[in-house]
Amino acid sequence: MVEVGFVTGAIGRSSLVGFSSRNNERAVQRRGRARVVMAYDGSPVKVGVLGCTGSVGQRFMTLLEDHPWFDVVGLGASPRSAGKKYNDAVSWKQASAIPEKMKEIVVSECVPDAPAFKDAMIIFSGLDNTFAGDIEDEFAKAGKAVFSNAKNHRMDDDVPILIPTVNASHLDIIEAQRKNKDIPGFIITNANCSTTAMSIGLKPIHEKFGLEKVIVSTMQAISGAGYPGLSSMDIFDNVVPHIGGEEGKMETEAKKILGTCADGSFQDADFMISAMCNRVHVIDGHTEAVSMQLKTKATPEEVIDAIRSYPSIAKSLGLPSAPAKDVDYNDAPDRPQPRLDRMVGNGYTVTIGRVRECNVLDIKLVLLGHNTIVGAAGGSILNAELCCVKGLV
């Protein structure tokens, strides 16, 4: 049985039920009772998606189409798209068709008083970061639970960079955020997509042996640059060894994510990290070669065992989008590979391979995560599911 915790501060909902994962008995629990196992009661939550036409926005559409808890009622994008039906506004680039129920929704401007967002309790944001910060603030001020993919608020002192399998306890900051910002809603961010894959992949190792130093080189997919992204003349037959701002984000965000949250503030994890980021000729899936020095020395076999035995936290929390394993090890000598492994766990699992000794630091490995699923839209959806389970929505 998993203890999920208290129910406090829900946005406009009161119908959570207690749930025993062992015997499947459900019984209504009173608000505020300590140490009960909670599960969301399944009644639909109305949600809006901002930035619905972009790479991340399109991924939201496919992941939310048949979501068991979330019902898309509003879509937002730039004034260029506002007023058009989604089908006419979007340049659809996903392998599956545009979900039928989204096609006819008329795209709104990204303002909280637009009728489309009136009843939405959750707002997913896949907005361009030039505009995301201010727009997300407005929605949080209007009482919405905002789940952002943009970089703007990630390093705010009172905003978590949340990854349920890594740092669910960072949700404790929300109370301080509401107080500091004097807002009825809240903002929760995702990490940068390369940082998400790395943080999930390194969490089992950090927890068991402690990270001292990390050196990471990324091979990042084209979809990470949004649509239309790089021109074919730039990326075809090529590797581009520069992604603006990416290295700094990996170096700062990872320490916040793998750090702690207590008494209304964050404390960074104390390892050193250096990142080198490259764009490669792959559509989806960021691959990362990581070398690390550990606080407690470990053999490759012990590291592999730590990865394999890491519990499936998102699943045990009862999140419906959670994969069977948050992080998995593939022992083939030539894996992970983006084309073969990005859809493991429906794109929610981070795959690790090639754990071996490093002659300079202690251990080196390769990891892979889907940048627009676990690294973006899917990550936000897991975060929103966690907030439902925790009674914050």
Ligand X SMILES: NC(=O)C1=CN([C@@H]2O[C@H](COP(=O)(O)OP(=O)(O)OC[C@H]3O[C@@H](n4cnc5c(N)ncnc54)[C@H](OP(=O)(O)O)[C@@H]3O)[C@@H](O)[C@H]2O)C=CC1
Ligand Y SMILES: N[C@@H](CC(=O)OP(=O)(O)O)C(=O)O
- Coil, strand or helix at 284: coil
Tell which one of 136, 158, 246, 326 touches ligand Y (CB under 6 A).
246
Strands 363-369, 286-294: pairing is: antiparallel
Q: Is 206 designated active site?
A: no
Nearest residue (CB) to ligand X, 27 versus 95: 95
Say which residues have a Cβ less than 8 Å from residue 230's Cβ, sequence separation at least 6: 222, 240, 279
294 sits near ligand Y (criterion: CB under 6 A): no
Minimum CB separation of residue 376 from ligand Y in Å reads 8
Backbone angles phi, psi at 368, to 5 degrees: -145, 135
**From 193, 261, 277, 388, active-site residue:** 193
Closest separation in Å from C-beta 319 to ligand X: 19
Which residues between 147 and 166 bind ligand Y (CB under 6 A)?
149-151
| Binding partner of residue 297 among ligand Y, ligand X, none, CB cut-off 5 to 8 Å per kind | none
Query: Least distance from C-beta 305 to ligand X, angstroms?
Result: 31
Please name the residues in contact with 172: beta carbons below 8 A apart, sequence gap of 6 or more. 261, 262, 264
Reduced to 3 states (helix: H, G, I; strand: E, B; else coil), residue 102 is: helix
Question: Binding ligand X by CB under 6 A: which of 226, 259, 264, 320?
Answer: 226
User: Rounded to the nearest whole angstrom, what is the least distance from the CB of residue 257 to ligand X in the complex?
Assistant: 14
Q: For residues 149 and 132, what is the distance between their CA atoms, to the nearest angstrom?
A: 9
- At which residue do the structure tokens 């659809």 appear? 92
59 alpha carbon, distance to own chain's centre: 12
Q: Give whichever of 161 and 171 is closer to ligand Y, judged by the CB atom.
A: 161
Site string for ligand X, 108-127 (x = CB under 6 A): --x---------------xx
Q: In the bound complex, which residue of the shown chain has the CB atom lying closest to ligand X?
A: 54
CA gyration radius, the chain: 20
The vertex-215 CA angle with 224 and 265, nearest 5°, equals: 75
**Residues between 204 and 223 with contacts to ligand Y, criterion CB under 6 A:** 220
Q: How far apart are CA 127 and CA 106, in angstroms?
A: 17
* 3-class DSSP state of 298: coil
- Report what 288 binds from ligand X, ligand Y, none; CB cut-off 5-8 Å by kind: none
Within 127-186, the residues that bind ligand X by CB under 6 A are: 127-129, 131-132, 149-151
Residue nearest to ligand Y (CB): 224
Identity at 388, one-letter amino acid code: C
User: Footprint of ligand X on residues 48-67 (CB under 6 A)?
Assistant: 51-57
Q: Which does 126 bind (CB under 5 to 8 A by kind): ligand X, ligand Y, none?
A: ligand X
**Closest of 313, 376, 305, 369 to residue 342, by C-alpha:** 369
Catalytic residues: 193, 286
Can you give the binding site for ligand Y, defined by CB under 6 A? 129, 149-151, 192-193, 220, 224-225, 243, 246, 249, 371
